[in-house]
Amino acid sequence: MRKDRMKVPRLAALLVLLAASTTAAAEPPSGEAEAFRFFAEEGRSSTALRRVAPTQGSPVPVDVVTAEEIRASGAVNLWDLLRFRVGLDVIEGRSSAGSNRAVVSVRGIPRDNTHELLVLLDGRSLYDPLSGVTLWERIPVQLQDIERIEIVRGPNAALYGSNAGLGVINIITRRPSARAAGDVSFRGGTGRLAEGSVAAETARERAGLRLSATSRTQAGAPTAADPKTEGQDFLRDHTGGLSAWMKAGESTIELLAGVTRNDFGKPIAGNPQGHVFTHFQYARLERATGPDSSVEFKVSRNDAISIDTPGPAGLDTSARFWQYDAEGLHTVVWGNGRMHTTYGAAWRYAAASSSYLFGASPLQTNRTVRGYLHQSIEILPTLSIMGGLNHETANAGGYHKDFQTALLWAPAPEHALRLSYARANTKPQLLHRYSNFNANAFVHVAGNRNLYPSPLTSYEAGWRGLFAESAVQLELTGFYTEIRDHINLDRTSGPAPVSLTYDNTNTVILRGLEAALRWRFAPGRTVYANYTQETVADQDAHAIYLNTTPRHKTNVGFDWALPLHLRASMNAGWKDAYMADSTSGAAQEAVPAFWRLDARVSWSPAAWLEIFVAGQNLEQPYRREFVDGLVVPRRVQAGAVMRF
């Protein structure tokens, strides 16, 4: 067993050395004018402070997945882009509660209902208004449309409100900029994977438009009982997107829209099928109101219809969820550039309609209003303080306030020390307060209208430095987080043999250390390594908190330009043993420590053509990750991208 575990570390080291040996022979990709400005894309973020600013001066640690990394990743799913990042835990698993096909968490307690992580698409909230979680398979965005992903680790509720206690992930799409451009791609692989996508864009000096579409089908994952047998979790996914912008005087207007149709199988008794239709519309207006001042207004709408066929015991399990958002904010720089102020207000109306989930009152709604203020002050050229405050009230979530303060000290150029303290809240959602349904013949789930927000308190210290003319980036972060009155689903007396209800009875403590190193030798030549250590303490000794968080995680990899227009990338990750658990089922599964190896090789014989071969989970043919009765298989795919 131990010898098998050593295969991948040795393989990873061999691949890194092999790539390094090509340094003298390989020429960097053409078109890279600034050969020694390696962190231009990674060095700035718009998420942490809600304005474009250097990540070096952020009050919370920020990790950026760049467009270059996305192209070289070989990812099939959106969550594959997050799998090897520091501080993140990604599990491929199917939840019986819905269409979610992945568990993504920041800083511990990975489960199929992660409420403390806020996921955004171009700044628009993506969490489900029914349960407050992110349904990753339903996100109406295509990989070829993503420009970058900004990952904020730690509380940022002072700017974003509730459900941003453990982190914020902002998926930022491409803004059309080419006069006339397009791309067509296709891929096929094991597990009957077949995917095709097309995109076209045009832009002029004062306007731009991009249209894109993707269609993907794949077979179900193998079953744990017999890996040679295909599971019922097949997928047919069709997604379309629109992105447009125009300038009108000093104003810029952006319009985004997307639609997704998912048809999928559920790996539970009776093998039902799910059908989900999701669409959204988003408009944003930004206007400069002075040389150091700007305002922003945005409105959005999200709508999803979910149908299961057949429903359990002939029941109608169809549900509709919809949400409207409006927000305005003002950013101003004053005090000779030493003061940055951001303040604003937001309104949200969320609704869910389901006779199955809510019984005699099938329509439930929630209205949220909040106001916020964030201030940055440069006391000295090397010393800054930041603070923020958010007041929020909701009829289904109660009133709470969030705040954040940070001290940043830059004792030397390109080095920064960060100390921060934050208070954030996770509010109950419609399902937590109003649910009234039978999960099966033996289990009844009831909501609790007396639920109140769960306060989270976080203490954090971090350091980030750049070396060797910014070619080497090193970051260290330590954190201590306490979540009080955590919302849990606990057993109680009731009408069924097993009755469950939501309550505010638990306290969870998270402690951890994050370390990340990235070295870019030259454009197109990067190696990285990161390590995450996390421990969880739980007042009520819930296994879903104590044992589901791997104590240690390590990732290494490279992305390397080779001779003859070849490019190779590799990502290897080791995860400590953990207990696979689910809030939508009673089963548990002990998952031993394992390595995962993903790799991709591409050839670009012409500027407009790229041919690639990629593999995922190459270290072993099958691996158990979740309690869905399925295993993750080794996958191999090949395809081509043609750009015009």
**pTM above the 0.75 mark?**
yes
Residues of the chain with pLDDT under 50: 1-38
| Domain harbouring 587, CATH code | 2.40.170.20
Position 16 scores a pLDDT of 42
Distance, in Å, from the CA atom of 101 to the CA atom of 90, rounded to the nearest integer, reads 11
Position 33 scores a pLDDT of 39
Torsion, Cα 189 193 194 198, to 10 degrees, reads -90
For the four alpha carbons of 334, 337, 339 and 345, in that order, the dihedral sign comes to positive
For the four alpha carbons of 7, 9, 10 and 11, in that order, the dihedral sign comes to positive
CA angle 293, 298, 301 (to 5 degrees): 170
| Ramachandran category for residue 165: left, alpha or beta (phi over 0 → left; psi -120 to 50 → alpha) | alpha
Q: How many domains does the chain have?
A: 1
Q: Say if residue 352 is exposed, middle or buried (CB neighbours under 10 Å; 0-12, 13-18, 19+).
A: buried
Position 284 scores a pLDDT of 97
**Tens digits of residue pLDDT in 135-150:** 888 888 888 899 999 9
Position 4 scores a pLDDT of 44
No. of helices (H) and no. of strands (E), the chain: 6, 37
Q: Across-strand partners of 418?
A: 408, 462
Q: How far is CA 611 from CA 120, 185, 566, in A?
A: 32, 10, 10
Residue with tokens 């203020």: 373
Position 97 scores a pLDDT of 52
Residue with tokens 């692989």: 189
Concatenated DSSP letters of 28-80: PPTT---TT-TTTTTTEESSSSSS-EEGGG-SS-EEEE-HHHHHHS--SSGGG
Show Cβ contacts of residue 175 under 8 Å, excluding neighbours closer than 6 positions.
147, 208, 210, 243, 245, 254
Q: Go through 203-215 and write b for each residue having 16 or more CB atoms within 10 A of its CB, e for each that does not.
A: beeeebbbbbebb
Distance, in Å, from the CA atom of 94 to the CA atom of 441, rounded to the nearest integer, reads 21
Domain, as residue range, for 140? 2-643
Position 136 scores a pLDDT of 87
For the four alpha carbons of 429, 149, 421 and 336, in that order, the dihedral sign comes to negative
**Tens digits of residue pLDDT in 371-396:** 999 999 999 999 999 999 999 999 88
